[in-house]
Amino acid sequence: MPARTHPADVLIIGGGAGGLSCAITLASARGKNWFNDRRIVIVDDGTSDLHKAKLFNAPGVPPGTLGSDLLSGLEDQLQQYDCATMLRGTVQRAERLPGGRFIATLESGEEVIAMSLVIATGYKRWDVEGLDHMPQQHPRGGKPDRIHLPHDGCYRIETDLHVAGLLAGGSSQFAIAAGIGTQVAVELLSEWAGKRTHVHDTP
Ligand SMILES: Cc1cc2nc3c(=O)[nH]c(=O)nc-3n(C[C@H](O)[C@H](O)[C@H](O)COP(=O)(O)OP(=O)(O)OC[C@H]3O[C@@H](n4cnc5c(N)ncnc54)[C@H](O)[C@@H]3O)c2cc1C
């Protein structure tokens, strides 16, 4: 049987702090009249640094929370939105197709074809082949092997290609990685809305 192809408006590679925060904020706009029937796909292979953490200083997170519990809470939070799908697996290759869309291939052979791509793979590994951009030394990583992808200051690498989480150059704190993911989502939502926007709920 041929491997499945998933269509998406946004593909996020990496479901750690940055990628999940980006996905949750994107999906939270699903009721806006400009959101239409957009779909978000996130692919993750389970190596988030949060699995090694026990957090006492992450704002809003109960002190002593295991990072793995925080991660599964974020995954549960994403599940409230039908417009988002999480796939387990490793993206081996991502490239731009003629016409501008991206295609990503997982080690399972599954493919995701997306209008926009967000790379949120953390600041320790780089194994996605096919893109024209190579990581450089991280400016705030503290160790020489930490990496980041340069961007325009608003986390855009080129048209429809964004970087989130620590790979975007932030320091290694949960709130910073999550915040960059959220900012990338707000940039995408603003493009879709045709004006600056954000998503707020009230009691
Ligand atoms: C030991 C330790 C303790 C920490 N303690 C704290 C703390 O007390 N307070 C605090 O604020 N922060 C803490 N942190 C930092 C926090 O964990 C990070 O800031 C945060 O996890 C970074 O988020 P990220 O999204 O950039 O990367 P990650 O959370 O590491 O997520 C990257 C994700 O990308 C996925 N991925 C990578 N490549 C691929 C691919 N090709 N295909 C599919 N998926 C891929 C990985 O599986 C991973 O899930 C700690 C970190 C460590 C290591």
Digit-coded pLDDT (tens) for 3-49: 899 999 999 999 999 999 999 999 999 999 999 999 999 999 999 99
pLDDT, tens only, 112-154? 999 999 999 999 999 999 999 999 999 999 999 999 999 999 9
Residue 1 has pLDDT above 70, yes or no: no
Superfamily of domain 5-193: FAD/NAD(P)-binding domain (3.50.50.60)
Determine if ligand 1 sits within 6 Å of the CB of residue 18. Answer: yes
CA atoms of 105 and 150, how far apart (whole Å): 23
Q: 3-state class of 118 per DSSP? A: strand
Q: Residue ranges per domain, the chain?
A: 5-193
Angle, helix 17-27 to helix 67-79, in steps of 10 degrees: 20
| Residue 135, token pair as written in the block | 């990581």
Q: For residue 99, how far is its CA from the centre of ligand 1 (angstroms)?
A: 33
- Amino acid, single-letter form, for residue 41: V
| Residue 3 or residue 185, greater confidence | 185
Taking residues 79-106, report their average pLDDT: 98
How many angstroms is it from 171 CA to the middle of ligand 1?
11
Best probe residue, ligand 1, of 12, 50, 56, 72 (max atoms within 8 Å of C-beta): 50
- For residue 76 the two structure tokens come to 């549960």
Rounded to 10 deg, the angle between the 174-193 and 17-27 helix axes is 30
Looking at the whole model, is its pTM more than 0.85? yes
CA of 112 to the centre of ligand 1 (A): 23
Cα distance between residue 41 and residue 11, in whole Å: 5
